[in-house]
Structure 1
Amino acid sequence: MRFVTFEAAGQARLGLVEGSEVADLGARTLRDTLRAGPAALAAAAEAAVSAPRLMLDGLTLLPVIPRPGKIICLGLNYAEHAAEGGREKPDYPNFFMRGATSLVGHGRPVIRPRVSEQFDFEAELAAVIGRTVPRHVARGDALGYVAGYSCFNDVSVRDYQRRTPQWTIGKNFDATGPFGPAFVTADELPPGAAGLAIASRLNGQTMQSANTRDMIFPVDETIALLSECLTLEAGDVLVMGTPAGVGFARTPPVWMKPGDTIEIEIEGVGRLVNPVAAE
């Protein structure tokens, strides 16, 4: 199943995608639905049978989950990306966090801040937690807690990212985290969404091209490691790192600028497209 979150009359609404149409499931969010329990997605699909239909192309899409409880990101999770930045392959994930105000939906402008021109793209897989993960979960059980997947663009303001030893400030400018367009349930994809082509395109030119099997820390291992430390809850989002080819590592560097269009595509998951605008 594929779900979208869209805006209508100032409200976030959940929809089930059926071809070019969306079944309007009402004023609720995907996070609310997941927190209702494991059977809630199936119940939503049943409700869609009698729900009103809207054309997908006409909707204003919001981030798949507009306000996740936690957005936990991985840096340097592809060996070639670590190498292009002069880093060694990590022995433990480089975790950092995003806030909800950084998120933006498919089709909406991603905003280059007035304080920087070092505006970079990062194609990433997002995994959405479907139910509370117990502490110290076994890696072999971890994927059972993933509800589904989406596309993410971990847009980075590179000079701000490098101002401190931790990357948080360069990853949390408003409207710099495109997330969507759709949430794809885990049963539609290979376990851990492994083995999927992942790419970014800037103005139609391919900048990154890799495969999710190349992640150093795959989804199951990431969940197991996080569960050593904290409780993951329904609607939390894991943003799984980017492959090589980002703008800062090119000669000369390639920065996104107002008027550009950036696309993130993951096989079987979708294509996330955003124009770039100035603050």
Structure 2
Amino acid sequence: MPNQIVRYATTDGAGAGVGLRDGDTGVVRALAAPSLAALLREGSAALRKAVESPGDEVPGARLLPPVDGLTEVWASGVTYLRSSEARQEESQVADVYARVYDAARPELFFKSPAWRVCGDGEPIGVRVDSDIDVPEPELALVCDAHGDIVGLTICDDVSSRSIEGENPLYLPQAKIYSGSCALGPGIAPIWEIPDPAALSIAVTVLRDGDVAWSGQTSTARMRRGFAELVEYLFRQATFPDGAVLSTGTGLVPDLDFCLAPGDEVVVEIEGVGRLANPVRSATREAFGWLTPAPDRHAA
């Protein structure tokens, strides 16, 4: 397991902190920063300085989603051939996805504010008004406020294939709802990853102790480069607390597969980490713990 920049809470109720988690021991050491958002606001030099000089061990640290403040989560679509094929299979307007795969401009869409993100071990949700729901395991780029890629994390871009397939204009409903975005468990510093463009990505969906679906791919199969995606995201927008940009999925099950409450989704990315989440129905009652928004993880 790599070293990771993490957010954490402690049992004394002192509030959320930011630290460095040792990949071998799991020990979390505090970083000299009020928040992760503050580090992303200052930029890559400040982040690297903090990571290279961790402080004291934090006993009893409980990991939180690695995103806070005004940091936004965005996502890329149709960046792998498999994703293009799957979108065409499900869609009543298949030509849209064939065209965007080859287009100069990438598909980018808003995924989640920081407060709605689920962390490692926390439940993710499937819509009750959807017939086909799937995990979308993706490598996510953590960018500072200046648009520099400073780290990598794992994103599960949980999605409704049936809603998006009915009409591409329903994309926000298929992609943005309670429990639809999981990140974590932490952020691997980009300078510690030898080749981010050639990382293996694996996903397993467990159901009643058995493997219901699994798959494996590599970021080497992406059609678009990381710098290109980030440039388009930052081209006409500012992100004062940085941004997380998920880079799209190359792993999509056949149309006869659907996530179900009680499943567990496990995503592993070489050199980045392992993200595991149980599945629930995305009802208001099941995900009421996501709010009140800014301070849900303060204790």
Give the corresponding residue for 2:17.
13
TM-score w.r.t. the length of structure 1 is 0.83
Give the corresponding residue for 1:170.
174
Choose which of 116, 120, 144 in structure 2 pairs with 1:130: 144
| Residue 72 in structure 1 maps to residue 74 in structure 2 | yes
**2 CA distance for matches of 1:2 and 1:273?**
16
Structure 2 spans left out of the alignment, 5+ residues: 89-96, 284-299
Q: 1:157 to 1:84 in 2, by over 3 A?
A: closer
Residue correspondence of structure 1 range 49-60 to structure 2 within 5 A: 49=55, 51-54=56-59, 59-60=61-62
Residue correspondence of structure 1 range 233-248 to structure 2 within 5 A: 233-244=240-251, 246-247=252-253
| Residue 116 in structure 1 maps to residue 130 in structure 2 | yes
TM-score w.r.t. the length of structure 2 is 0.78
Structure 1 spans left out of the alignment, 5+ residues: 134-144
Q: 1:54 to 1:163 in 2, by over 3 A?
A: farther
Number of residue pairs matched by the alignment: 259
Q: 1:157 to 1:28 in 2, by over 3 A?
A: farther
Residue correspondence of structure 1 range 16-165 to structure 2 within 5 A: 16-18=20-22, 19-25=25-31, 28-45=34-51, 48-49=54-55, 51-54=56-59, 59-86=61-88, 87-88=97-98, 89-91=101-103, 92-100=105-113, 101-133=115-147, 145-162=148-165, 164-165=167-168
DSSP 3-state at the match of 2:44:
coil
Aligned residue type for 2:186: A
Give the corresponding residue for 2:258.
255
**2 CA distance for matches of 1:42 and 1:238?**
20
Residue pair 2:43, 2:146 contacting (<8 A) in 1 also? no
| Residue 216 in structure 1 maps to residue 234 in structure 2 | no
Deviating above 6 A after TM superposition, structure 1's stretches of 4 or more consecutive aligned residues are none
**2 CA distance for matches of 1:234 and 1:83?**
35
Aligned residue type for 1:155: V
Q: CA deviation digits over 1:170-218, x for unaligned, max 9?
A: 1111122110001011111135x11000121101635231110111112
Note the C-alpha offset of 1:46: 5.4
Residue pair 1:4, 1:181 contacting (<8 A) in 2 also? yes
Cα RMSD of the aligned pairs, angstroms, is 2.4
